[in-house]
Each structure stands twice: as C-alpha cells, then as structure tokens.
Amino acid sequence: MGRFDGKTAIVTGAAQGIGEAYARALAREGANVVVADLNAGLGEQVAERITADGGTALCVKADVAEPDSVTAMAESTVDRFGGIDLLVNNAAIYGGMKLNLLLAVDWDYYRKFMAVNFDGALLCTRAVVPHMRKRGGGSIVNQSSTAAWTYSSFYGVAKAGLNSLTQQLATELGGSGIRINAIAPGPTDTEATRTVTPAAIVAQMVERLPIKRMGTPDDLVGMCLFLLSGEAGWITGQIFNVDGGQVMR
C-alpha cells in the first residue's frame, strides 16, 4: 500500500529534473500522476517510464502562464482519473534563464518570466481548487528556492512572491480542507543549474554550506511527499528549506 493510493496528483514542469523526481516518487507511492509540461515530448517519456515501472501516468502539455491551458490541464486530469487531490507547482523558467539586473532586464522578458515563475502557481491553483473541493480537500506544494532570501535578481523576487502567495492562499483554502506549503531548495545539482550557474560560483556556494555538497532531486522528494500526505495534516502556509543549511531562519 502506498501513501497516495487512489489519489491523483498533477506535477507541473515534470518532464525533467526535480519535477520528474517528484512525479516518479508520487507514482511509486500509488498516485495517478499527471506529468504536466510545455515540453510534451519529454513529458511523454517520463509518463512512459512511470508506466513501465508499474505506475499510472498521463502526460498533458501545459503552459502554466496561460489560463486556458491550465484549465484544460485540470479538465484532462478529471476526465482521465475522476478528480484531483494533489498539486505540485514546480514549473519555472530556470534552465537557460537570462541573467541580468532588475534595473536592466528586458521588460518583456521580465513579464514573461514572472508570468511563469510566479503567476503560474496561482493560475494552476485556481484551476484545481474547484476539483479538490469536490473531493473534500487536497494538498498543494509550491516550489520556492533559497533565492528568496539571497540576492538573485528577478528570480529571487519571483520566489519571494511565491512564498507570500503560499501564506496568503493557506488562509483562503484552509476552510475547504486544502493545505498549501512550499519547499525552498538550496543549490541543487540538476541539468538546469549546470546551464545557469558557472561552476566556480557553485563551488563557492558549496564551500559555504554546513553540509558541503550540492543537493540532489532525491534530497527534496521526502519533504514533498510528506507535505502532500496526511502526515502533514496540520501544516499549512509554511516554507521549508531543504538546503544543506544554506539559510538558517
């Protein structure tokens, strides 16, 4: 028996990296998993791997910055599995992210970035909440970052906003039996991180960590599963650092 037998979970940005790790872990624990990603080709591969491992998965192409797209994502999930119980708002522009100052970043790029990295979590939450209410409740995990507490330009701004969104929505959703929390990873070894952050800067970050290594997607999975599960039934509106001790607060 898995912790999520009979439950249906949507994981956005699940075609690779941390999102894929979340999706595969949820499937191992018995959940029906929707692999939601703009890259449907990679998403299909993840869904196929989950199925080959004995799980149940559906790939849905979704652009979290577009209201119609996330509404269709929720409807496709309900059509296939009958309802929605769990949501992980993991999708973000990160790999290949353009680095620049807040004072200099191209405005159109900034607005697109915030539409995905901040607004996307709210749009997806709004899309699934009516379906969670029909099930009597649910649980949501937002993917934040320790960038919210360190200088990280517009990426940090988006993650700080996501933390506040998590806290605000906890109040709005609590009466419906829906909990919402966030995970704030520290430096995590993914392909996206390797494309964004120069190796020398990564080495400096690791040297300052109490636990002197990069995190891995597997380091984050346990917290995600815990927060989505009934074991965290009296926890909402919280941001949990999983960061090797990078930020102590």
Q: Give, in degrees to the nearest 5, the angle at Cα 208 between 239 and 94.
A: 55
Phi and psi based region of residue 183 (left: phi greater than 0; alpha: psi -120 to 50; beta: remaining): beta
Using alpha carbons, select from 228, 33, 3, 32 the residue that is nearest to residue 137. Answer: 228
DSSP state for residue 188 in the 8-state scheme: B
Residues 6+ apart with CB under 8 A from 67: 123, 127
Is the Cα dihedral 65, 103, 192, 150 positive or negative? negative
Confirm whether 155 is a catalytic residue: yes
The active-site residue, picked from 94, 109, 110, 155, is 155
Residues in the chain: 249
Active site residues: 155
